[in-house]
Amino acid sequence: MIKIKKKIPLIDQHDKFGFWGGKFGGNFIPETLKKPVEDLEILFSKLRNNKKFILERDKYFKNWVGSPTRFIKLENLSNHLKGAQVWAKVVSDANGGAHKIYNATVHCLIAKKAGKKFIVGDTGAGYAGKMLSMAAKKFGLKCKIFMGAKDIKRQKPNCDAMKKNGAEIVPVYTGSQTLVDAVSECMRYWVSNCDSTHMCVGSTVGPNIFVKICGWSTSQISRELKDQIKSSFKKMPKRIKLINCVGGGSSAYGFWSEFIDYKKKHIELIGVEAGGPKKSKLHAAPLSQGAKLGILHGAASYVCQNKEGQINETESVSAGLDYPGVSPMHCFLKDAKRARYTFATDEEALQAYKLVTQLEKLNPSLEPSHAFAEAIKIAPKLRKNTIIIVNSCGDAKKDKDILKDRLKKI
Ligand SMILES: *Cc1c(COP(=O)(O)O)cnc(C)c1O
């Protein structure tokens, strides 16, 4: 049985080979990547213990990212569900409309400290690329985004935004011409250019150091939330449920990190994956659908795969959750039974979006709508003194076209 240690951030609970729980994570990288990865590990461990760097980070979080984001009670939704009180942490208030800006900002700060002039990243749906291009522009770094040729065709608005921010989009024509190939190509580029270039990975995935940097960045969300819970309630509520959607798992880790040491009975952590269309076998839910251990993007995690170990095609109405793997830290939390993972189907997420926007002045994107779907399912069965908090981690402006099309049909 895997045990979580108290008082040590989860990002540091890996062994000397980079594995959480002895088997999740690690560094499945080509020999040539070892040196730049090691250099980054050394630099990051220095910076995270440097007071001046922390102050600088906090200054940008506050003045540029827009931290702290709001913590609000959804009174109408709570009254409608007639059970637990439902609250939201409105992380979509952050610059760019989602939590990815925390990670992009920290990576740019690290790149500057390392004296790098260039930053590269990969992107699937384009949001990680868009956020990185925003941050790169802010910090005066030249930015290249690797993106599958097929994704470039599908995600024109995000590509336009990246170009507007001055980033160069590098189309990747190998393999399936999607995210998987973009990641490989980006890493290859980094190996040959690491003297001048820093690499950013957009979620708590990839080789060990990238999981750590991303988790360290998004954990700001849970520090904000802890203070906000203290000031919003006379005393710490006895039963809290923190519900978050899970794609790669960076927003969920950021939302939970300060609360992992609490007892499950006191603060339950619930992760909601993309169940895909109701009538289809395709999904992007490795944790809740019992996917097997596999290796993807330089790390071991539960991965949607076939019997041969080939990565499965995934499907979800929300581009942000459409990813076959998941953070090694979430695999660890699942096996340690600290967090519970479930899924919501496309239809459930769309229904949840509809209900939340009918009742509240809040516009959650399709990713957090998955989390709201779970809140809507469980709230009526719970008592009024239970506090459900949903991380509304993205704004639905980006989903305008899909919503217009799909909401007509439900
Ligand atoms: C990218 C994205 C996700 C999925 O990524 P995580 O690393 O799981 O957070 C979820 N929500 C939004 C709004 C996103 O942009």
Say which CATH number the domain at 365 has: 3.40.50.1100
**Residues of the chain by 3-state class (helix, strand, coil), percent to 5:** 45, 20, 35
Last residue of a domain, one of 215, 236, 269: 215
Domain count, the chain: 2
- Ligand 1 lining (C-beta closer than 6 Å): 98, 100, 127, 203, 245-251, 320-321, 365, 367, 393-394
Residues 86 and 161 in one domain: no
| DSSP collapsed to 3 states, 123-148 | ECCCHHHHHHHHHHHHHCCEEEEEEE
Q: How confident is the model at residue 83 (pLDDT cuts 50, 70, 90)?
A: very high
Q: How far apart are CA 78 and CA 242, in angstroms?
A: 15
Q: What is the pLDDT of residues 280-324, one digit of tens each?
A: 999 999 999 999 999 999 999 999 999 999 999 899 999 899 999
Last residue of a domain, one of 197, 215, 233: 215
Residue 195 Cα to ligand 1 middle (Å): 30
pLDDT over 90 at 410, yes or no: no
142 with 136: CB under 8 angstroms?
yes
Cα-only R_g, the chain: 20
Q: Quick one: average pLDDT of 219-243?
A: 97
Residues 394 and 295 in one domain: yes
What pTM, to 2 d.p., does this model score? Answer: 0.97
Q: Ligand 1: which of 130, 155, 213, 367 to mutate, most ligand atoms within 8 Å of CB?
A: 367
Residue nearest to atom 2 of ligand 1 (CA): 320
Residues 92 and 104 in one domain: no
Tokens of 20: 């959480």
pLDDT score of 2: 87
Residues 200 and 125 in one domain: yes
Domain that holds residue 274: 68-97+220-406
Q: How far apart are CA 8 and CA 5, in angstroms?
A: 6
Residues 172 and 106 in one domain: yes
Q: Ligand 1: which of 89, 245, 402 to mutate, most ligand atoms within 8 Å of CB?
A: 245
HSE, side-chain direction, 13 A CA sphere, residue 63: 7
Residue 27 Cα to ligand 1 middle (Å): 23
Residues 247 and 283 in one domain: yes
Residues 277 and 355 in one domain: yes
Residue 67 Cα to ligand 1 middle (Å): 18
pLDDT score of 175: 87
Residues 113 and 141 in one domain: yes
Ligand 1 atom closest to Cα of residue 250:
7
Cis peptide before 68, with omega less than 30 degrees from 0? yes
Write the CB contacts of 268 (distance below 8 Å, at least 6 apart in sequence).
239, 240, 241, 242, 340
Residues 138 and 171 in one domain: yes
Q: What is the dihedral of CA 34, 35, 39, 44, to 10 degrees?
A: -10
259 with 273: CB under 8 angstroms?
no
